[in-house]
Amino acid sequence: MSSLNVALSSYSTIAVVFERMKIHINERNSNKTPEQAPLFEFTADNVEIMPSKETVKIYKLSIPHSSCTAAKELE
């Protein structure tokens, strides 16, 4: 198993709290249709974006080694 780091960044003038945030990861250049499932999907609880500064959250996901290729770009 490998791991994938996902970072969320935001600039906000007020504090924003998400009780539950659903995160989808798709291939960068895919022509995604509504019925296609994302490559990865997970939820994060209690995500807080602080005002007037960059907030970065990093999530580690266990992913199958076969999904990891140097040429595959994710968004």
The answer to whether 67 and 39 have CB atoms below 8 angstroms apart is yes
Distance from C-alpha of 32 to C-alpha of 75, rounded to nearest angstrom = 12
Q: Which domain holds residue 48?
A: 2-67
pLDDT tens digits, one per residue of 6-40: 777 788 888 889 999 998 887 776 676 767 788 78
Q: How many residues appear in the chain?
A: 75
pLDDT, residue 10, reads 80
Q: What is the pTM of this model?
A: 0.57
Domain assignment present for 74 = no
| Amino acid sitting at position 37 | A
Domain assignment present for 40 = yes
pLDDT, residue 71, reads 44
Number of structural domains found in the chain: 1
pLDDT tens digits, one per residue of 51-63: 888 888 888 777 6
